[in-house]
Amino acid sequence: MIRIFSLKQQGKEGVGQASAKKSSAAQLRVQKDVAELNLPKTCRMEFANPDDLLNFKLIIMPDEGFYRNGRFVFNFQIGQGYPHDPPKVKCETQVYHPNIDLEGNICLNILREDWKPVLTINSIIYGLQFLFLEPNPEDPLNKEAAEVLRMNRRLFEQNVTKSMRGGYVGATYFERCLK
């Protein structure tokens, strides 16, 4: 077993040592990730409980592309296996998007098979932001939206606009998400 503290440090009693024991590896890594964040101006983080860094919301407000002027909320839940396991990320805003299904699941490779412990919260934020700038119809979760994007880019843009204003696209109703 590797010991991080020397015997001298282990013998000391105090508040610092007690609080260090309470912080898990995941919490320490998330603290580091959040401290080193370089959020673009189109993103904002919200912590419901400032003492709980493992659960937070990310709001993305694209300023270009199909989704400009939208406001999209993502829920991050980071497990104790982080950074070895990726965070669970769901889109809370229902969106007409080829890579986000109507239940909020996200098709982003670094959230699944391409996750590596060297990746950070910042990597995920930039990945999510990129999905709004360049939707990928070749790797869809929402196959209908992907097909429309592949076949008729103009109709796809109209559907995105209609959904963001609040309205039906096909049989699905979308809540308004314009900022």
Q: Which domains does the chain have, with CATH numbers?
A: 22-170 (3.10.110.10)
* 43 catalytic per annotation: no
pLDDT of residue 119: 97
What are residue 106's DSSP bridge partners? 100
Are residues 91 and 57 in contact, defined by beta-carbon separation less than 8 angstroms?
A: no
Q: Which amino acid type is present at position 42?
A: T
CA atoms within 13 A on the CB side of 48: 7
**DSSP 3-state assignment of 73?**
strand
pLDDT at residue 133 in the model: 96
Q: Region 15-28: what's the mean pLDDT?
A: 65
Q: Mean per-residue pLDDT for 83-101?
A: 98
Greater model confidence, 44 or 1: 44
- How confident is the model at residue 23, as a pLDDT? 81
Q: Residue 6 above 70 pLDDT? A: no
Q: What is the mean pLDDT of residues 112-135?
A: 96
CB 132, CB 60: distance < 8 Å: yes
Q: What percent of the chain has pLDDT over 90?
A: 84
Please report the pLDDT score of residue 102 as a whole number: 96
* 167 and 173 Cβ atoms separated by less than 8 Å: yes
For the stretch 111-121, pLDDT in tens is 999 999 999 99
Is the pLDDT at 21 greater than 90, yes or no? Answer: no
* Percent of the chain predicted with pLDDT > 70: 88
Give the pLDDT band (50/70/90) at residue 179.
Answer: confident
The pLDDT of 149-160, averaged and rounded, is 98
Residue 16 has pLDDT above 50, yes or no: no
**SS3 label, residue 126:** helix
Strands annotated E in 4-146: 43-46, 55-60, 72-77, 88-91
| Token pair belonging to 103 | 């239940």
Mean pLDDT within 65-81:
97
